[in-house]
Chain A
Amino acid sequence: GAVVSQHPSRVICKSGTSVKIECRSLDFQATTMFWYRQFPKQSLMLMATSNEGSKATYEQGVEKDKFLINHASLTLSTLTVTSAHPEDSSFYICSARARTGPTEAFFGQGTRLTVV
């Protein structure tokens, strides 16, 4: 089946630094990738949708200058949390939808970000 790999799975960073999270589709080409944030015991909140080769579309209330999304190839999208603060600590999840075939999205394993 389709595999989405997210890296790193855990990261701890200091306040004010930036952190990059990678999302790769390993065995398919993904024109569309979704980035989510999940708070403890809550659902996935869609942050943005990225399409290969174009700018990401951010949800209302998500700062695009803070959460930089790049989708430069059909197999890789990155989320960079810039100038991280403790309130950015969360579980970030990416998912990818294949260019052709079924329209379901395949999920990465998530990244636990802790800002200290």
Chain B
Amino acid sequence: AQRVTQPEKLLSVFKGAPVELKCNYSYSGSPELFWYVQYSRQRLQLLLRHISRESIKGFTADLNKGETSFHLKKPFAQEEDSAMYYCALRFFNFGNEKLTFGTGTRLTIIP
């Protein structure tokens, strides 16, 4: 079954330290993966998508098909990075489009 796994519910990192939020997926087809972020009292918003291979707010994520992973990384954490992060998988099941989310990781940056 298609699934997104985020093994860490909580992650605390010191300001300036590197950050890595883990995401693994299970899908037999070609995956389309996203990272969404939710800041305090705000709605979910897109952070980045694997197709674009972009860096947003210093974050990058590389799709590793061999390890079925899409980990989110940032070399130097900033206080404003504290938020809830969700990894999401877009796929088609018998022609029906779906967008499913992992359980999320709450990232806290320690000043």
Contacts and interface: CB of A to CB of B under 8 A. Distances in A.
A57 interface: yes
Give the interface SS of chain B, mostly helix, strand, loop or mixed.
strand
A89 to B, nearest CB: 20
Range for the number of chain A residues in contact with chain B: 20 to 34
Given A43-B103, A46-B98, A49-B98, A108 B43 contact: yes
A43 B102 contact: yes
A49 B97 contact: yes
Interface residues of B, number: 20
Contact of A43 (B32, B49, B86): B86
B101 A104 contact: no
Nearest to B42: A109
Contacts of A110: 43
Interface of A: 32, 34, 36, 42-44, 46, 49, 51, 57, 93, 95, 97, 102-110
Interface of B: 32, 34, 36, 43-46, 49, 51, 86, 90, 96-104
